[in-house]
Amino acid sequence: MPNPREIHRHMRSVKNIQQITKAMKMVAAARLRRAQEKAASSRPFADKIEALLQTCLSDSTLAKRVSISDHPLLEARPVKKTGFVVIAADKGLAGPINSNVLKHTVAEMSACDDVEVLPVGRKAKEFFQHRGYKLGKSFFGLSDKPNFDYAEQIGNAAIQAFVSGEVDEVKLIFTHFKSALSYTPETVQLLPVLPPEGTGAKIGEAFSDDGPEEIGSVLFEPTANALLGALLPAYVKNVIYAALMQSAASELGARMTAMSSATDNASDLLKSLELSYNKARQAGITREINEIVGGAEALSQA
């Protein structure tokens, strides 16, 4: 059994760690509220731009007159190589959130012939780099404090890879935030941008600059092509921004839960160590009493 001094030293170490985990829990809880508010405030704009884009693409008259050469983000081509934008955290101490999203990505990649990864977050970069995957441009230092500038940089890199033909499609993988205790990996088709299913619209099916302008179900001002040219990149970057916000809230929720568990475990360990400390001290006192009694008896017999 360890002596009381060793146990007491262990208890002090556990107490110090408990103070750190408790502070990290409180910081994560405070930041989680702000992250949830930012995610909620960005949702109306995200819904509106998505609805506007889907309205444009579901108009069959417009779809026929869209030129793929003018809007390459709409080009659906045979998939030989898939790009994955994977959003993970920059730091650990957040429970299984990083391992879950990375395992989900590996499972998604297993269905692809050739892949390229655009990692977002230090954990994602290290994971795929050590396993020999081909990496594109990487981004880190932004996972817990995302803003639209970061989303714009990531969106431009994804668009460049798709338009240049380096990849034939781009998928976005992130952690969808449900609550502080519930968050799941999710995959979203980022590029190409496809018309809604069931509308029958086919992009560039019968494109022609000749003949009179057809009137569809929606009137556009400025022209529909000009509107699409502005909407498509904005839509891609907004999807990435929403994913960054979701992942940031998930990371903070996971860290708060992990630090709460660590604090509770430290309390349980302190109780166990205190019991061991008392037993060791009591055993030491008993041993000393026995030695004194034995010595007294030896002197009385001499």
Domain-located, residue 276: no
Domain-located, residue 88: yes
pLDDT score recorded for residue 206: 41
Among residues 291, 235, 275, 200, which one has the least CA distance to residue 53? 235
Domain-located, residue 278: no
- pLDDT tens sequence across 40-74: 777 788 788 878 777 777 766 666 666 666 778 88
Handedness of CA 138, 106, 28, 10 (dihedral sign): negative
Give me the domain span that covers residue 177: 22-257
Distance, in Å, from the CA atom of 263 to the CA atom of 261, rounded to the nearest integer, reads: 5
Domain-located, residue 220: yes
Domain-located, residue 286: no
- pLDDT tens sequence across 178-200: 877 788 899 988 888 876 654 44
Q: What is the model's pTM?
A: 0.80
Distance, in Å, from the CA atom of 237 to the CA atom of 274, rounded to the nearest integer, reads: 55
Residues near 267 by Cβ (< 8 Å), separated by ≥ 6? 18
pLDDT score recorded for residue 62: 65
**Structural domains in the chain (count):** 1
Are the CB atoms for 22 and 256 separated by under 8 Å? no
Distance, in Å, from the CA atom of 175 to the CA atom of 186, rounded to the nearest integer, reads: 6
Domain-located, residue 114: yes
- pLDDT tens sequence across 209-257: 444 444 455 666 776 677 777 888 888 998 899 889 888 888 888 888 8
Reported as type and span, the H/E element at residue 184 is strand 182-191
Q: What is the mean pLDDT of residues 159-169?
A: 90
Does residue 8 register a pLDDT over 90? no
User: CATH number of the domain that 250 lies in?
Assistant: 3.40.1380.10
Are the CB atoms for 250 and 177 separated by under 8 Å? yes
Domain-located, residue 292: no
Domain-located, residue 159: yes
Does residue 143 register a pLDDT over 60? yes
